Amino acid sequence: MAGQGVSASIVVYGGWQEAAAAANSVLRYTQAQPFSLYLIDNASPDGSARQLGEAVTDPRAELIALPANRGFGGGHNAVLSRLSSRYHFVLNPDILIEEDVLGAICGWMDAHPDVVMATPQLYFPDGRIQHLPRRKPNLMGLLARQLPGGALERYNRHYTMQDEDLTEVQDIQFCTGSFFCIRTEVFREMGGFDEGYFMYVEDADITQKALQYGRVCLLPQFRAIHAWHRTPAHRGSHFMMQLKSMGRYFRKWGFALK
| % of the chain surpassing 70 pLDDT | 94
Strands 87-91 and 170-171: unpaired
Give this prediction's pTM: 0.93
Mean pLDDT along residues 174-183? 97
pLDDT in tens, 10-61: 999 999 999 999 999 999 999 999 999 999 999 999 999 999 999 999 999 9
Question: Does residue 256 fall inside a structural domain?
Answer: no
Residue 186 dihedral angles phi and psi, to the nearest 5°: -70, -45
Q: What gap in Å lies between CA 241 and CA 197, rounded to an integer?
A: 9
Mean pLDDT along residues 203-231? 93
Does 111 have pLDDT greater than 70? yes
**Contact present, 7 and 62 (Cβ < 8 Å):** no
The C-alpha R_g of the chain, in whole angstroms, comes to: 17
Question: Does residue 237 fall inside a structural domain?
Answer: no
Question: Does residue 33 fall inside a structural domain?
Answer: yes
Question: Does residue 182 fall inside a structural domain?
Answer: yes
Enclosing H/E stretch for 7: strand 6-12
Does 230 have pLDDT greater than 70? no
Does 235 have pLDDT greater than 60? no
pLDDT at position 56, please?
98
Question: Does residue 103 fall inside a structural domain?
Answer: yes
Judged by average pLDDT, the poorest of 76-85, 142-151, 192-201 is 142-151
Judged by average pLDDT, the poorest of 106-110, 149-153, 223-227, 249-253 is 149-153
178, 198, 228, 258 from 69: Cα distances, Å: 18, 9, 21, 34
**Contact present, 26 and 8 (Cβ < 8 Å):** yes
Q: What gap in Å lies between CA 254 and CA 233, rounded to an integer?
A: 24
pLDDT class for 178, splitting at 50, 70, 90?
very high
Strand pairing partners for 7?
36, 88
pLDDT in tens, 47-68: 999 999 999 999 999 999 999 9
pLDDT class for 139, splitting at 50, 70, 90?
confident
Strand pairing partners for 20?
none
CA atoms within 13 A on the CB side of 9: 28
Question: Does residue 158 fall inside a structural domain?
Answer: no
Question: Does residue 249 fall inside a structural domain?
Answer: no
**Residue bearing the bigger pLDDT, 2 or 179:** 179
**Total count of domains within the chain:** 1
Q: What gap in Å lies between CA 218 and CA 179, rounded to an integer?
A: 11
pLDDT class for 79, splitting at 50, 70, 90?
very high
Does 236 have pLDDT greater than 60? no
pLDDT in tens, 141-175: 777 777 666 777 888 888 899 999 999 999 999 99
Instruction: Supply the DSSP symbol for 255.
Output: -
**Residue bearing the bigger pLDDT, 218 or 152:** 218
Q: What gap in Å lies between CA 134 and CA 155, rounded to an integer?
A: 11
CA atoms within 13 A on the CB side of 60: 20
Question: Does residue 254 fall inside a structural domain?
Answer: no
Instruction: Supply the DSSP symbol for 93.
Output: T
Q: What gap in Å lies between CA 156 and CA 1, rounded to an integer?
A: 41
CATH number where 188 lies = 3.90.550.10
pLDDT at position 1, please?
52
Query: What domain range includes position 118?
Result: 6-132+165-232
Strand pairing partners for 61?
37
90, 149, 155, 156, 256 from 163: Cα distances, Å: 27, 16, 10, 10, 19
Per-residue exposure over 118-134, b if at least 16 CB sit within 10 Å of its own CB, e if not: bbbbbbeeeeeebebbb
Does 234 have pLDDT greater than 60? no
Q: What gap in Å lies between CA 76 and CA 100, rounded to an integer?
A: 22
